[in-house]
Amino acid sequence: MGRIPADYLPPKELWPNRIYKLPEFQTYPQQLNSTEELLDKQVAAGKGDRIAIYFEDKKIPYKAVLANVNKLGSALKRLGIEEADRVMLRLPNIPPAVMANFTIIKIGAVSLPTSALFSQAEITHVANLSESKAVIVAGAMLEELEKARPNLKTVQHVIVVGGTPEQQAAWKAKGYLLWQELLDAEKPECDPVRRDRMDVSVLLFTSGTTGLPKGTAHFMEEALIVPDGFGKHCWNVTEQDIIGGSAPIAMAAGYSAVAVIPYRFGAAVSLIARFTPEAMFETIQNHKVTILSILPTAYRKMLQVPEAEKKYDLSTLRVCTGGGESLTAQTYHDWKAKFGLEIFEGLGTTEMMFVFISSAATKKVKPGSIGPAIPGYELKVINQETHEESKRGETGMLMARGPTGTVYWRDPDKQKGSVITGWVKAGDMVSMDEDGYIWFLSREDDLIKSSGYRIGPEEIEDVLVTHPAVADAGVIGVPDPVMGQKTRAYVALKKGTAEAEALKAELIEFCRGKVAVYKLPREVVFVPEMPRTITGKLLRRVLRDRATKG
């Protein structure tokens, strides 16, 4: 029986306090398997013919999902995947992503969904840090993995989803395994491996805010906590619901909406592999989505579609929620005016697994505010220096605690700074009003939030200064009406180098492949020199002031 080495998780004294306030959280057995709870038990209860997944024109019932999960489980066990082994997923939001995640957890292994936008350096880092034993990858996403393949120290199997017959033949020649062939060779039989409710079952990696992505550990019980908390008390999910959204399964918000919440209630998920505003509208209309969970950026892009309120039927929608960045009061009012629907904003983190603040908890929106703590969680705002609790209306650091909490994978130093007296440091500067609603003011540091991703400027700066024409660089986020923020690079050129528009484009392209696509600078501005302290520290606030003044 596999075990994760004890030192891969931080010492227990560095963990946040986990509190289980809701009665639902008191009923979980000590040994359980979340796939069995979310999938097997729905089929056993007679819901096998209910639709579990809508994707494009496909409708996949619960019993078909379970059959494929069991076939893949048998195949993975035959390949030597054992309890606590890590299996990396490189898949967009397609049915195999849901099935693979269920399978990995069912056989007792650890599911590790990764961003489709990771560069080969990030794939290598995550695979090696997690010691992944296998990778399940979409054929369309194989290129970056193949570039990283020589540096992957522990990966024994690569399983490819999709592809033409010609592509599949080429992949097999390289020693890769084919998803469909594995399913076709197995019987739909696979017993669940029940593990301790506090055993790691999922690893989610951050967007790489300060350098390479950080791993966050999530436990078996969390696949029940998220639906029993947020799903039940905020979305009020029933088996009649169809939950749609575009956040990828590699993000905490996407993972919870796509791979967890619907199945606890016998509901369905509506998948969309690639977001465009028009595709999202069509998906809502065609799949009859009832609950929509997308990023504020997505709402803003959808608002730009001309006469969308006349073109598309959104009559099935009953709840709209969003998070990942500031929604803004303007977006709330524009959406409500155009479609007659409120957006219940929310805030969550990869570390906390899902949303822990949301106006969906009370169904009362204060435009511009994120909302109060959702049932099961507690919030407080503390003074940044003294750590004493701030008065209502005063600015301070946001702290949270509940049945989930920050536990970093193989990073005790990062863990030390993330928890204060048992409370999780959320990393935002906020205020709390008399009703307990949180009002976002700024990031505690210089992080850039763009289209739901958190971007650390240092990583981009480190790449830019390796270009032969660049003497110095500083990166900030500047306001953008669609993305929330876009990444702007200020660049000081070496003496004798002429400023030119072509060089700006060249610098952006220079970063491609060295950082993830979503981290690429959107703008380059040339400056004579970078503002720095006498000790050499870059003053990004000066760059932000410069950007504000135009």
- CATH 3.40.50.12780 in the chain is located at 49-220, 272-445
The proportion of the chain whose per-residue pLDDT surpasses 90, expressed as a percent, equals 84
- Mean pLDDT check: name the lowest of 61-70, 160-169, 264-273, 426-435: 426-435
- Mean pLDDT check: name the lowest of 37-51, 131-145, 288-302: 288-302
More reliable by pLDDT, 384 or 433: 433
Residue among 1, 28, 27, 31 nearest 194 (CA): 31
Summarize pLDDT for 92-123 with one digit per residue, the tens: 999 999 999 999 999 999 999 999 988 899 99
CA distance 382 to 391: 9
- Does the pLDDT value for residue 210 go beyond 60? no
Three-state SS at 500: coil
Contact between 277 and 301 (Cβ < 8 Å): yes
Give the alpha-carbon dihedral of 218, 221, 227, 228, to 10 degrees.
-140
- CATH 3.30.300.30 in the chain is located at 450-549
Contact between 439 and 432 (Cβ < 8 Å): yes
Summarize pLDDT for 330-358 with one digit per residue, the tens: 889 999 999 999 999 999 999 999 999 99
- Mean pLDDT over the full length of the chain: 94
Mark 4-13 as b/e (b = at least 16 C-beta within 10 Å): beeebbbeee
Summarize pLDDT for 511-525 with one digit per residue, the tens: 999 999 999 999 999
CA distance 332 to 369: 11
**Does domain 272-445 match CATH 3.40.50.12780?**
yes
Summarize pLDDT for 227-266 with one digit per residue, the tens: 999 999 999 999 999 999 999 999 999 999 999 999 999 9
> 49-220 maps to which CATH number?
3.40.50.12780
pLDDT at 535: 47
Average pLDDT over residues 373-398: 94
pLDDT at 209: 43
pTM of the model: 0.85
Summarize pLDDT for 262-285 with one digit per residue, the tens: 999 999 999 999 999 999 999 999
pLDDT at 427: 83
Class of CATH domain 450-549: alpha beta
Three-state SS at 426: strand
pLDDT at 464: 95
DSSP one-letter string for 135-187:
EEEEGGGHHHHHHHGGG-SS--EEEEE---HHHHHHHHHTTPEEHHHHHHTS-
Summarize pLDDT for 406-460 with one digit per residue, the tens: 999 999 999 999 999 999 999 887 899 999 999 987 667 677 888 888 787 878 9
pLDDT at 1: 46
pLDDT at 299: 92
